[in-house]
Amino acid sequence: MTGNRQIQPKYLIISADFFAQLGNRFVGLFLLNLLVFKGADALSSLVIMCIIDQAPSIFLSPVAGVWIDRIGARKWLILVNICKCIIVAVFVFISARWAVLFVYLCFIVVSLFFRIGCLSIILFLVPKDKLIVFNALNERIAIAGEIFSPWLAGLILAKTGQTIALSFAGVLFFISMLSLLWIPKLVGMSQKVSSETQKKGPENLLSGFSTPFKLNHHLGICFYVLGFALLGGGILNLGLPMHFKTNFHGDIAKWGFIMSAFQAGSFLATILLRVLTRAVQHAILHLTFLVLASAMFILSSVTGYIQLALLMLVCGCGFTLLHIYWESLIQQNSPKKYAGKIMSLLTSFRGLCYLITISAGAFVINVWGLETLMVVGAIMIGSAYFLIKTRKWNKPLHTVICGEGADN
């Protein structure tokens, strides 16, 4: 029975994350359809939505990390899902553009808190040497549902309207909350560790963010490399919808099909990470930077739905490989007593990278056009490959996973 109680919680986290991601997909497509595909000022709305997606993570993540440690990740995640259900209900009763954007901001904040809570609790439920395999499994299960969910959500929006689609999202968040209720209260460890690290006063909050990097230099290297993948992904997030609207003139259902292709590529990436040895993983991930650079370069010249879907298959596989691998290394090199702070810092870092590309990308599109933005993205992703090779980070990163100070 003890073995079951140790194994079951991590699968309940996967379940909670699975249904929460499906709900997020319905809300995201609802906003994209309302403000971008049907809106009068598509680029402005898309840029604002992208900023809303990332800005809260920069400013609120550190605060969330501290509170997760104090009240426990399980209770925190349950409260977040309750808030999501309430916010989804509010969407049904509003239509003004700025009102919708404000409520969307609230939704993104609670979604951010959910993400940090999941990242934090995983460190206490999964051994560090199993994190890559677990994260790949978690992503695989989530993506399996999302392969068809963009197409399904887009079809529901096109055929029935926003109320039915948002009702689906509310039900999915409620199911996610039920999964969390079954998780035993195993997060007391995080509360105990946090209370020990907080006794020294407010100054300990700042040292909590810097100390892990001093104890283990591999942690900083992982953040550095992940940053290039995030910057490239931010350019794709901005450039792809504008390319689809400008050159394809497609509707929300066809957009869902393109996104399903991206998710299919992500699903393939989770299988590759599971079956490849660590050394082979590292070699393939180096090559992935070059493949993604090539895909970004030719993206703006693609004019057929099938060609675009195949390209999104490649991008989904490549970006998911990079994200899972490098985020797992960050988790593996993070001391448990700094879990909440480092996971919140990871979320802030991700938001900052995306926000930079969104702001700069919108400027590039307005001044030089979409094709130039895609070329910049290709150069950025390609540069990451050469920086990794020239700095000789290969061997220590894939042979020394948990460095000094990363065990506890």
Confidence of residue 369 (pLDDT cuts 50, 70, 90): confident
- Residue 39 pLDDT > 80: no
Lowest mean pLDDT among 211-215, 255-259, 270-274: 211-215
374 domain residue, yes or no: yes
Confidence of residue 35 (pLDDT cuts 50, 70, 90): confident
Q: Which amino acid is at 53?
A: D
384 domain residue, yes or no: yes
Into how many domains does the chain fold?
Answer: 1
- Residue 185 pLDDT > 50: yes
How far CA 7 is from CA of 75, 114, 180, 191, in Å, comes to 19, 21, 14, 21
pLDDT at 187: 42
DSSP state of 108: H
Q: Which domain holds residue 130?
A: 2-193+204-399
404 domain residue, yes or no: no
Give the up-direction half-sphere exposure of residue 65: CA atoms within 13 A in the CB hemisphere.
Answer: 28
Q: What is the mean pLDDT of residues 227-247?
A: 85
- Residue 405 pLDDT > 70: no
d(CA 6, CA 377): 43
- Residue 255 pLDDT > 90: no
306-334 pLDDT, tens digit each: 889 999 999 999 999 888 888 888 888 87
Q: What is the mean pLDDT of residues 13-38?
A: 84
- Residue 83 pLDDT > 90: yes
- From start to end of 56-111, where are the E strands? none
How far CA 204 is from CA of 65, 71, 338, in Å, comes to 14, 18, 11
Between 374 and 334, name the one with better pLDDT. 374
> In 3D, which of 52, 15, 40, 25 has the Cα closest to residue 358?
52
pLDDT at 250: 67
Q: In this structure, are residues 12 and 180 in contact, taking their beta carbons and an 8 Å threshold?
A: yes
- Residue 376 pLDDT > 80: yes
Q: What is the mean pLDDT of residues 156-175?
A: 84
406 domain residue, yes or no: no
d(CA 61, CA 69): 13
Work out the angle at residue 315's Cα, subtended by the Cα atoms of residues 310 and 318, and round it to the nearest 5 degrees. 130
pLDDT at 28: 84
Written as six digits, the tokens of 222 are 């992982």
Measured from the Cβ of residue 341, the count of other Cβ atoms closer than 10 Å reads 28
Q: Which amino acid is at 315?
A: C
Q: What is the mean pLDDT of residues 256-283?
A: 81
d(CA 152, CA 171): 15
57-69 pLDDT, tens digit each: 888 887 777 777 6
pLDDT at 8: 61
Residue 295 sits in a domain of what CATH number? Answer: 1.20.1250.20
199 domain residue, yes or no: no
408 domain residue, yes or no: no
Q: In this structure, are residues 61 and 200 in contact, taking their beta carbons and an 8 Å threshold?
A: no
Q: What is the mean pLDDT of residues 139-144?
A: 82
407 domain residue, yes or no: no
> In 3D, which of 93, 92, 88 has the Cα closest to residue 107?
88
48 domain residue, yes or no: yes
pLDDT at 208: 54
Q: What is the mean pLDDT of residues 225-235?
A: 87
- What 3-state class would DSSP assign to 328? helix
pTM of the model: 0.72
337-368 pLDDT, tens digit each: 777 778 888 888 888 888 788 788 888 888 88
Confidence of residue 145 (pLDDT cuts 50, 70, 90): confident
Q: What percent of the chain has pLDDT over 70?
A: 84
Written as six digits, the tokens of 147 are 């392969």
- What 3-state class would DSSP assign to 142? helix
Between 201 and 36, name the one with better pLDDT. 36
Q: In this structure, are residues 20 and 81 in contact, taking their beta carbons and an 8 Å threshold?
A: yes
pLDDT at 90: 93
Whole-angstrom Cα Rg for the chain: 21
d(CA 249, CA 298): 19
Written as six digits, the tokens of 178 are 């039920």
- Residue 221 pLDDT > 60: yes
197-220 pLDDT, tens digit each: 444 444 454 555 667 777 677 787
What rounded mean pLDDT belongs to the chain? Answer: 78
